[in-house]
Amino acid sequence: MIVAGRREREAAPDSGDVLRRRSAVLVTGASSGIGFATAVRLARRGTIVFAGIRRQVDGEALLRENSARIKPMLLDVTDETSVQRARTRIEGLTEFRFDALINNAGIAVAGPLELLPQAELRRQFEVNFFAPMALTQAFLPLLRASGGRIVNVSSIAGKMSVPFLGAYSASKFALEAASDALRLELRPFGVSVSVVEPGDVRTPIWRRSSEASLRLLEQMSPDERAQYEAMTRAMIAAAQRAERNAIAPERVAQTIERALLARRPRARYLVGAGARLRLGIARLHESIRDPLILGALGMPRSRPSREAAAQRETV
């Protein structure tokens, strides 16, 4: 069993010994990246993993990794009916105990906040914030019965916001705040809540967000392009550099496993040296932090002078 009940946890070692009853978990966003790696890792240690996916073909890839313990489940985390269907399916199976919800599904909407369509801002929060809350509400009765655990996959972006990822950071800031409240609210019931905060991870999310930024750039008016094109391309180049140095999703999966096995799970788990560095930067005063961020992204670090602005207007 991956996660012990409250009394069992007090005596259980951190080694994750298999206990008497079979354990099951739900991992959302298991089609690729962190979710895929987590599903495979947990299944290999004997856990039944319900893997939330959006396409049948993604389930076939998971089954090739472990057909005995991975149970692919078509799940749209933003659709209430889909979430309730998943709850009903898991609740109806009695041969195991449901011990953990891993809220991993996420997207990154990128672009200047001035120009992001309202629909895109709402979609960012629907996937990254409202969906984890809906899943938590749906599965808490099962987790309360088992003394189980919730692991919310956030990001170091939930501690420090950067240009052109303001919507993404805002959704992760919100998830962090909600997780803090949940951790205190659920403690009397023996349900723990942990947040996992990776730095840059080699997943498709950043390639997709870069592609979305380019599409947004193409839709800009000439004036908007004049204002934002250089910064947008600098941000895309920075994202590409970060992806080359990013950690593997398996590193995050290993940390999620630790959060499930620890006798006393921590409130937060930073993953990777990059995350620790950026947390340190986040704690600096804005007068120091802002130039550091802009310099790292290759963006202007100071406002243009009035003379330079007037000169541009007369050209």
Averaged pLDDT for residues 103-112:
94
Active-site residue flag, 269: no
Range of weakest confidence among 5-14, 58-67, 122-131, 186-195: 5-14
Catalytic residue among 50, 168, 206, 228: 168
Q: Hey, is 79 helix, strand or coil?
A: coil
**Residues in contact with 296: Cβ distance below 8 Å, sequence separation at least 6, in sequence order:** 238
- Cα–Cα distance measured from residue 101 to residue 287, given in angstroms and rounded to the nearest whole number: 40
For residue 104, the model assigns a pLDDT of: 98
Range in 59-73, 242-256, 292-306 the model is least confident about: 292-306
Give the pLDDT band (50/70/90) at residue 205: confident
Q: Is the pLDDT of residue 29 over 60?
A: yes
**Is 202 within 8 Å of 279 (Cβ atoms)?**
no
Specify the pLDDT at position 312: 47
* pLDDT in the model for residue 216: 82
Residues 80-98, buried b or exposed e (16+ Cβ, 10 A)?
eebbeebbeebeeeeebbb
Distance of alpha carbon 204 from alpha carbon 240, whole angstroms? 12
**215 pLDDT tier (thresholds 50, 70, 90):** confident
SS3 content of the chain, % helix, strand, coil (to 5): 55, 15, 30
CATH class of 6-272+287-298: alpha beta
Flag whether pLDDT at 129 surpasses 70: yes
Kindly calculate the radius of gyration of the chain based on its CA atoms and give it in whole angstroms: 21
Q: Which of 107-116, 174-183, 201-210 has the lowest mean pLDDT?
A: 201-210
Task: Give dist(CA 312, CA 306) in Å, integer.
Answer: 10
* pLDDT surpassing 80 at residue 18: no
Say if residue 9's pLDDT is above 50: no
Instruction: Note the pLDDT of residue 7.
Output: 37
Of the listed ranges 24-33, 78-87, 301-310, the least confidently predicted one is: 301-310
Q: Can you give the pLDDT at residue 243?
A: 79
CA distance 134 to 31: 20
pLDDT of residue 213: 77
Where b means 16+ CB within 10 Å and e means fewer, 170-199 reads bbbbbbbebbeebbeebeeebbbbbbbbbb
- pLDDT, one tens digit per residue, over 166-199 is 999 999 999 999 999 999 999 999 999 999 999 9
- Average the pLDDT over 127-146 and give the result: 97
Percentage of the residues of the chain whose pLDDT score is greater than 70: 88
Residue with tokens 């629909």: 119
pLDDT one-digit tens code per residue, 277-292:
999 999 999 999 999 9
HSE-up (13 A, CA, CB side) for residue 90: 33
Alpha helical stretches, state H, 147-203:
166-186
Neighbours of 240 (CB within 10 A): 12
Q: What's the confidence (pLDDT) of residue 15?
A: 44
- For residue 11, the model assigns a pLDDT of 37
**In the predicted model, what is the mean pLDDT of the chain?**
88
Q: What is the pLDDT of residue 204?
A: 78
Q: Provide the total of helices (H) and of strands (E) in the chain, helices listed first.
A: 13, 7
**For residue range 54-87, what is the model confidence (pLDDT) as tens digits?**
999 999 999 999 999 999 999 999 999 999 999 9
Question: Distance between alpha carbon 146 and the CA centroid of its chain, in Å?
Answer: 25
pLDDT surpasses 80 at 315: no
